[in-house]
C-alpha cells in the first residue's frame, strides 16, 4: 500500500487508501468531504464531479493511485465563502430542487466557464449534458450558467 | 376600532404550549394536528406533555430573531421554504430574521408529517397561518400588558408592536414576558372547562408581505457549498456501513450463501443474514398484502456485508455466492402485455363511475372510436440512492435519513423490532429526491434489522444498481378508451384501466371529462404481480393524462373541431352539471386553457414548429400546457413549453415555478425516453448507461404563468407532470402524421414515420 500525496482544496494531503479506491469514496470516507456525491458510480451522472488540475472529472472513476502529485478541487474548495461566480449565479437563479446533483453541476459549469468564458447556448447544453438532474432543474441550470458567464 | 376585547382571547390549550428558554427567548410549540381540527381533544393530559409532543415550534430570541421548525420532509419540493413562509407571514416578521430548521419526527402526533400527493400546503394552509397568527397575538398581549393597555389598541408588523400612542416594542423585547404570561394562562385555562376555542384573526391576503414574494430555497447556501445535508452524508462515531444483497429477480428467495471470499476482502467486518424478523411480520399478514406489494417487506432473506466503508462493503458484496430459489413464478414484460390486454378485453372490471348508459350510446352511435394506450414500469431513480442510518440499543432506536413517511417508517420499525414506539427516534434529513420512492420504508427496515442484529450504529446505502434493480416501481398500465359520436357530438365515453397491482385513486374517475358527457363510465381492473410497485410522481394520472388528452385530440380530428374549442364546449357543459361528485371546477380549468392559449400564441403557426395542447386537473391544481416540438432530422425535440397554472394563492412563486418547470421536463423526459421491463423477473436496466433519463440537450425552455386568484393554495409537486407528456404526444402526431400510443414515445414511433411532414 503506497502513500499517495496530492493537493486537495489547496492543501497538501496524503492517503494510504487501497490503490483502486475511487477518489469519490476517499473524499467522503477519509476527508469527510460530503459535498461530492455518489449517483451512479459508472461515470454516467456527474454527481461526483470534481476538478483535477482545473478540469472537470468524474471522481467515481478515478482510482486514488492515479493522483500522485495532482491537484484536486471539490465543491468545498471552489471558493472560501461560497462566493464563486457560479455559486452566486446558482443562488440568484434559485437552481436547486432536491439539490443532490448540484455540487456536480456547479463543478462541471465552473471548469467549463474557465475554458470558455463566453459560451453559446449550444455549448452550454453540450458541456452540461453529462450531468443528470433527476428533478429536471435543467432550465435553471442553463440560466445560471448563462448568468455566471455574463459576470 | 370597534374590535371587541374577546377577539384577543383565544383558546390555545389544544395546540399550543409556551415556555421561557434558558438564556432568554421564548419557545412556542404548536400541534398542527389539533390546530387543523378545532374540535379535536388532546390525546393525553396537557401537563404531562413536553415539547416532543408538538410537531412545529417557533423560537423567538431576545434579539427578535425567529427560528421556525418545519415539520414536513423536504424532498426537493420546496416545503422547507414554503411552510415557514406562511408561518412568518402571519407572525409578521421580516423574512431575513427567520432561520428554518428541519423538525424531527413526532411519533405521537405524526399526522401528515409526510411528503406525497402534493398535499402539505393545501391541507396545512389554515393551520400554518393560525400558528403564526397565534404567536403574534401572544406577543401583542405581552406588550399590551407592559404598557398597561388593552391589546385591541396594539398592532404588530414586521417584528414590532405599536400602540395607539405611537410607542413601539419589538418582539425580542417582550418574548420573556410573553412566555411567562402564556404559561400562567395555560394553567388557568386547564381548569376552565368552559373556555371556548376562538380562532385568531388572520391577515387579508392583500396585506401579505412574504407570501407571493419570490423567496430563495432556505438551504441554497448549504447546497451550493456542499454541506452535509442528506442522509447519505450523515456519520456518527463508530458507525459501520452495510451493503445489502437482495434477490436478483422478483419471485426468488434466498436459500443459502457462501461468504468465504467476501469475508477476506479488505475492510469487511462481517457478513450476516437478515430477514428473520421481517418474516415474522409477513407470517401474520394476509397475502397478497399492501406491504408486500409495495416492496416494504420482502419474503426473501437478504445477505448483508458489514464493512468499514461503503465502498468496501459494495465490493465484497460482489464476492458473495448466493443460491436463490423460486418462490413464485417469475414474470416478464411480454407476460404483462398479454395479461393486461386480456384484462382490457375481458369483463372482470370494477366500475368506478357510471353516468347514463354507455352501451345505449354505443348502439346509437354514428361512429365509434376505440384506442389502447400502453405504458411501461418506471423506477424512481432518486438521485440520492436509498439509504438509512440506524442505531439500535437497549434503550432506544435512533434512525436518521431521508423518508417521505417518517411516521409510517417509525411505526414499522417498532413492529419489526417489537419495541415501544416511544423508543423510536427518527431524524429527517433533506432527501435527494423522492418522487414517491421514499414513501416506502423497506430501506429503513433493513437498516433497523441490521443494527438490531449487530448492535452497532450502521448506515445502509444502496448502490445505483441495487436501487434500480430492487425498486418499488411505477406499475405498467394500459388504458382502453372508447367514445361514441352522434350528430357531431360525443355521446358516450368509456375508460377502461388494466394495471399491475392496483387501480387508480378513487377520486380520479371524477376528474374531467366526467360531468361533460352524458353517458360516461370508468372501469378498472388489475393483475397481482410479484413485482413490487407503488406511487410514482402523480400516480396513475402520470400516464392517464397522456391517454386521455391524446384521445380527445383524435376525437377532435374526427369531429373536425378545433381541439381547444372542443374542450371549452365540454367544459361549458360540465360547468352546468350540479353533480357533487365532480371533483374539479370547469371554470378554473377553462381559465388555464385561456391563459395558455394567449401566452403561447397558440393559433399562430410557425414553420417547422408543431404544437400540442393539453389541459389537465389533478391533485387539486389546474394545469394547461402548450408544447412546441420540432424535428431535427429524424429526432423529435421539444423546444419550448408554455404552462398556465391555477393553484390558488401562490405561496412562493420562485419555488412554485421550480416545481412546475421541473415537473414539466420530468414528464417530457419519462414519456419520451424512459423504458423499464423485466425478463424472468429480472429488471432489464440497472444504471444510467442503459436507462435513459432526460438530459440538458433535450430539456426545453419552460415559461410559466399563474392564474391570479385568492383560492386557498393547492400543491405543485405533481400536477404539471401529467399534461407534459400528453402535449408532447399531440405535437408529435402533428409532426409525423401518426399517433404514438405507447410510451416511451422514442422507441415506439414507426421508423418510416420519423420524418418531418413539412420536409417530406
Ligand atoms: S457517481 Fe460518478 S458519474 Fe455518477
Ligand atoms: S436538484 Fe434534484 S437531482 Fe438535481
Q: Are residues A102 and A64 in the same domain?
A: no
**Residue B493: what pLDDT?**
98
What's the number of domains chain B is made of?
3
* CB contact at 8 A, B729 and B745: yes
- Asked whether residue B264 is assigned to any structural domain, the reply reads yes
**Å between A103 CA and nearest CA of chain B:** 6
Q: Is B220 on the interface with A (CB under 8 A)?
A: yes
Q: Are residues B612 and B651 in the same domain?
A: yes
Q: Is A25 on the interface with B (CB under 8 A)?
A: yes
pLDDT tens by residue, A106-148 = 999 999 999 999 999 999 999 999 999 999 999 999 999 999 9
Q: Are residues B585 and B563 in the same domain?
A: yes
* CB contact at 8 A, B104 and B426: yes
Q: Are residues B488 and B392 in the same domain?
A: no
Query: What residue numbers bound the domain in which A91 lies?
Result: 85-150
Q: Are residues A71 and A92 in the same domain?
A: no
Whose cell is 408544447? That residue is B627
Interface size, chain A vs chain B, as Cβ–Cβ contacts under 8 Å: 177
Q: Is B75 on the interface with A (CB under 8 A)?
A: yes
**Residue B634: what pLDDT?**
86
> Strand, helix or coil at B714?
coil
Q: Are residues B565 and B701 in the same domain?
A: yes
Best A138, A143, A144, A148 residue to mutate vs chain B (most B CBs within 10 Å): A138
- Grid coordinates representing B600? 403561447
**Residue B190: what pLDDT?**
62
CA–centroid distance, B230 to ligand 2, in Å, is: 12
Percentage of residues in chain A having pLDDT higher than 70: 99
- Asked whether residue B344 is assigned to any structural domain, the reply reads no
- Candidate from A36, A76, A129 with C-beta closest to B695: A129
Inter-chain contact B433–A32, Cβ cutoff 8 Å?
Answer: no
* CB contact at 8 A, A72 and A7: yes
**Residue B19: what pLDDT?**
65
What is the separation of C-alpha B388 from the centre of its chain, rounded to a whole number of angstroms?
20
Q: Are residues B479 and B368 in the same domain?
A: yes
Q: Are residues B159 and B307 in the same domain?
A: no
Q: Are residues A108 and A43 in the same domain?
A: no
* CB contact at 8 A, B648 and B710: yes
CA atoms within 13 A on the CB side of B56: 32
User: CB within 8 A of B4, min separation 6: which ones?
Assistant: B152
- Asked whether residue B209 is assigned to any structural domain, the reply reads no
Q: Are residues B129 and B276 in the same domain?
A: no
**Residue B754: what pLDDT?**
52
CA–centroid distance, A95 to ligand 2, in Å, is: 9
**Residue B72: what pLDDT?**
75
Cα separation, B136 vs B141, whole angstroms: 9
Query: Which of the residues in chain A have pLDDT under 70?
Result: 1
Inter-chain contact B662–A129, Cβ cutoff 8 Å?
Answer: no
Query: What residue numbers bound the domain in which B83 lies?
Result: 5-202
Cβ neighbours of A61 in B, within 8 Å: none
CATH number, domain with residue B713: 3.30.365.10
**Å between A38 CA and nearest CA of chain B:** 7
Q: How many H helices and E strands in chain B?
A: 19, 28
Whose cell is 447556448? That residue is A121
Q: Are residues A59 and A109 in the same domain?
A: no
**Residue B22: what pLDDT?**
59
Running along chain B, 760 residues long, what does each successive block of 10 average in pLDDT?
36 56 66 40 31 60 83 77 90 90 58 58 80 88 93 94 95 87 71 56 92 93 96 96 98 98 97 96 86 95 98 98 97 98 97 97 97 98 98 96 91 96 91 94 98 98 98 98 97 98 94 96 97 95 97 96 96 94 95 98 96 96 98 94 96 94 98 97 97 97 96 91 98 95 89 51
Inter-chain contact A98–B696, Cβ cutoff 8 Å?
Answer: no
Binding-site residues, ligand 1, Cβ < 6 A = A 38-41, 43-48, 58, 60
ipTM (interface pTM): 0.98
Q: Which of A37, A45, A101 to mutate to test the pocket of ligand 2 (most atoms within 8 A of CB)?
A: A101
What's the number of domains chain A is made of?
2
For B315, which residue in chain A has the nearest alpha carbon? A21
Q: Is B723 on the interface with A (CB under 8 A)?
A: no
Residue by residue, DSSP assigns B282-319 as HHTS-SS-HHHHTTSS-SS-EEEEEESSHHHHHHHHTT
Residue by residue, DSSP assigns B359-397 as HHHHHT-SEEEEEEEEE--B----SS--EEEEEE-SS-E
Between positions 660 and 689 of B, the ones with CB within 8 A of A are 661-666, 669, 687-689
Point out the ligand 2 atom lying closest to the alpha carbon of residue B432: 2
**Residue B106: what pLDDT?**
53
pLDDT tens by residue, B507-555 = 999 999 999 999 999 999 999 999 999 999 999 999 999 999 999 999 9
Domain boundary among B407, B435, B461: B461
- Asked whether residue B289 is assigned to any structural domain, the reply reads yes
* CB contact at 8 A, B130 and B200: yes
Tell me the ligand closest to B434's alpha carbon. 2
Enumerate the H helices of B148-219 as residue ranges. Answer: 171-191
Q: Are residues A102 and A68 in the same domain?
A: no
> What pTM did the predictor assign?
0.91
User: CB within 8 A of B88, min separation 6: which ones?
Assistant: B66, B68, B95, B98, B132, B210
Q: Are residues A57 and A10 in the same domain?
A: yes
Amino acid at each position: 500500500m503506497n502513500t499517495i500525496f496530492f493537493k486537495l482544496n489547496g492543501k497538501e494531503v496524503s492517503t494510504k487508501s487501497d490503490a483502486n479506491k475511487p477518489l469519490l469514496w476517499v473524499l467522503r470516507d477519509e476527508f469527510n468531504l460530503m459535498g461530492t456525491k455518489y449517483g451512479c458510480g459508472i461515470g454516467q451522472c456527474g454527481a461526483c464531479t470534481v476538478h483535477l488540475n482545473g478540469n472537470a472529472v468524474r471522481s467515481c472513476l478515478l482510482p486514488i493511485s492515479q493522483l500522485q502529485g495532482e491537484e484536486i478541487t471539490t465543491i468545498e474548495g471552489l471558493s472560501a465563502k461560497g462566493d464563486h461566480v457560479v455559486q452566486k449565479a446558482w443562488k440568484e437563479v434559485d437552481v436547486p430542487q432536491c439539490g443532490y446533483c448540484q455540487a456536480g453541476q456547479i463543478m462541471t459549469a465552473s471548469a467549463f466557464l474557465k475554458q470558455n468564458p463566453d459560451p453559446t447556448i449550444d455549448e452550454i447544453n453540450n458541456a452540461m449534458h453529462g450531468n443528470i438532474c433527476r428533478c429536471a432543474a435543467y432550465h435553471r441550470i442553463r440560466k445560471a450558467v448563462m448568468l455566471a458567464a455574463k459576470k | 376600532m370597534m374590535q371587541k376585547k374577546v377577539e384577543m382571547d383565544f383558546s390555545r390549550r389544544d395546540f399550543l404550549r409556551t415556555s421561557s428558554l434558558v438564556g432568554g427567548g421564548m419557545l412556542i410549540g404548536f400541534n398542527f394536528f389539533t390546530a387543523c381540527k378545532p374540535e379535536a381533544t388532546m390525546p393525553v393530559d396537557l401537563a404531562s406533555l413536553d415539547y416532543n409532543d408538538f410537531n412545529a415550534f417557533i423560537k423567538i430570541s431576545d434579539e427578535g430573531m425567529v427560528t421556525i421548525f418545519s415539520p414536513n420532509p423536504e424532498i426537493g419540493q420546496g416545503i422547507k421554504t414554503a411552510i415557514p413562509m406562511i408561518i412568518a407571514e402571519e407572525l409578521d416578521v421580516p423574512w431575513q430574521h427567520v432561520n428554518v430548521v428541519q423538525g424531527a419526527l413526532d411519533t405521537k402526533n405524526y399526522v401528515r408529517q409526510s411528503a406525497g400527493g402534493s398535499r402539505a400546503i393545501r391541507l396545512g394552509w389554515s393551520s400554518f397561518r393560525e400558528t403564526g397568527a397565534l404567536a403574534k397575538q401572544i406577543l401583542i398581549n405581552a406588550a399590551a400588558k407592559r404598557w398597561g393597555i388593552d391589546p385591541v389598541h396594539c398592532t404588530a408588523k414586521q417584528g414590532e408592536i405599536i400602540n395607539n400612542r405611537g410607542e413601539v416594542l419589538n418582539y425580542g423585547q417582550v418574548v420573556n414576558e410573553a412566555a411567562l404570561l402564556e404559561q400562567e394562562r395555560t394553567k388557568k385555562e386547564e381548569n376552565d372547562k368552559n373556555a371556548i376555542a376562538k380562532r385568531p384573526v388572520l391577515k387579508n391576503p392583500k396585506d401579505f408581505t412574504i407570501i407571493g414574494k419570490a423567496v430563495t430555497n432556505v438551504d441554497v447556501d448549504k447546497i451550493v457549498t456542499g454541506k452535509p445535508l442528506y442522509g447519505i452524508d450523515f456519520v456518527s462515531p463508530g458507525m459501520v456501513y452495510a451493503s445489502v444483497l437482495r434477490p436478483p429477480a422478483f419471485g426468488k428467495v434466498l436459500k443459502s450463501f457462501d461468504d468465504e471470499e467476501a469475508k477476506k476482502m479488505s475492510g469487511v467486518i462481517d457478513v450476516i443474514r437478515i430477514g428473520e424478523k421481517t418474516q415474522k411480520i409477513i407470517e401474520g399478514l394476509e397475502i397478497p398484502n399492501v406491504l408486500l406489494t409495495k416492496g416494504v417487506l420482502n419474503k426473501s432473506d437478504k445477505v448483508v456485508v458489514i464493512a468499514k466503508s461503503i465502498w468496501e462493503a459494495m465490493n465484497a458484496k460482489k464476492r458473495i455466492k448466493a443460491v436463490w430459489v423460486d418462490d413464485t413464478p417469475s414474470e416478464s414484460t411480454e407476460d404483462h402485455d398479454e395479461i393486461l390486454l386480456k384484462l382490457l378485453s375481458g369483463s372482470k372490471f370494477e366500475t368506478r363511475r357510471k353516468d347514463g348508459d354507455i352501451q345505449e350510446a354505443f348502439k346509437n352511435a354514428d361512429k365509434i372510436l376505440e384506442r389502447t394506450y400502453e405504458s411501461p414500469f418506471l423506477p424512481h431513480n432518486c438521485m440520492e440512492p436509498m439509504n438509512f442510518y440506524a442505531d439500535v440499543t437497549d434503550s432506544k432506536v435512533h434512525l436518521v435519513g431521508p423518508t417521505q413517511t417518517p411516521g409510517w417508517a417509525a411505526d414499522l420499525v417498532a413492529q419489526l423490532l417489537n419495541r415501544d414506539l416511544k423508543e423510536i427516534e427518527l431524524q429527517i434529513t433533506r432527501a435527494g429526491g423522492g418522487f414517491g420512492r421514499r414513501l416506502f420504508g423497506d430501506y429503513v427496515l433493513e437498516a433497523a434489522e441490521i443494527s438490531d442484529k449487530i448492535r452497532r450504529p450502521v448506515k445502509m446505502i444502496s448502490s445505483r444498481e441495487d436501487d434500480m434493480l430492487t425498486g418499488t416501481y411505477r406499475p405498467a398500465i394500459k388504458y382502453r378508451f372508447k367514445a361514441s359520436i352522434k350528430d357531431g357530438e360525443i355521446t358516450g365515453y368509456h375508460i377502461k384501466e388494466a394495471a399491475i397491482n392496483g387501480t387508480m385513486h378513487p377520486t380520479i374517475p371524477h376528474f374531467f371529462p366526467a360531468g361533460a358527457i352524458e353517458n360516461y363510465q370508468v372501469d378498472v381492473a388489475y393483475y397481482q404481480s410479484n413485482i413490487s410497485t407503488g406511487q410514482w410522481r402523480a400516480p396513475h394520472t402520470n400516464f392517464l393524462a397522456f391517454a386521455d388528452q391524446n384521445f380527445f385530440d383524435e376525437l377532435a380530428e374526427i369531429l373536425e373541431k378545433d381541439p381547444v374549442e372542443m374542450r371549452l364546449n365540454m367544459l361549458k357543459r360540465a360547468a352546468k352539471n350540479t353533480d357533487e361528485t365532480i371533483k374539479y371546477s370547469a371554470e378554473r380549468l377553462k381559465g388555464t386553457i385561456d391563459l395558455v392559449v394567449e401566452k403561447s400564441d397558440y393559433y399562430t403557426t410557425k414553420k417547422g414548429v408543431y404544437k400540442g395542447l393539453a389541459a389537465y386537473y389533478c391533485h387539486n391544481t389546474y394545469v394547461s400546457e402548450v408544447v412546441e416540438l420540432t424535428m431535427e432530422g429524424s429526432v423529435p425535440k421539444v423546444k419550448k413549453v408554455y404552462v398556465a397554472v391555477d393553484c390558488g394563492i401562490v405561496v412562493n412563486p420562485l419555488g412554485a415555478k421550480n416545481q412546475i418547470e421541473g415537473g414539466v421536463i420530468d414528464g417530457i423526459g419519462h414519456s419520451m425516453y424512459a423504458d423499464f421491463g423485466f425478463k424472468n423477473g429480472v429488471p432489464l436496466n440497472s444504471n444510467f448507461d442503459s436507462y435513459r433519463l432526460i438530459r440538458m440537450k433535450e430539456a426545453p425552455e419552460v415559461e410559466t404563468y399563474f392564474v391570479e386568484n385568492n383560492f386557498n393554495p393547492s400543491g405543485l409537486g405533481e400536477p404539471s407532470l401529467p399534461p407534459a407528456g400528453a402535449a408532447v404526444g399531440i405535437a408529435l402526431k402533428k409532426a409525423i402524421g401518426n399517433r404514438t400510443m405507447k410510451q416511451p414515445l422514442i422507441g415506439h414511433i414507426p421508423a418510416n414515420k420519423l420524418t418531418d411532414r413539412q420536409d417530406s
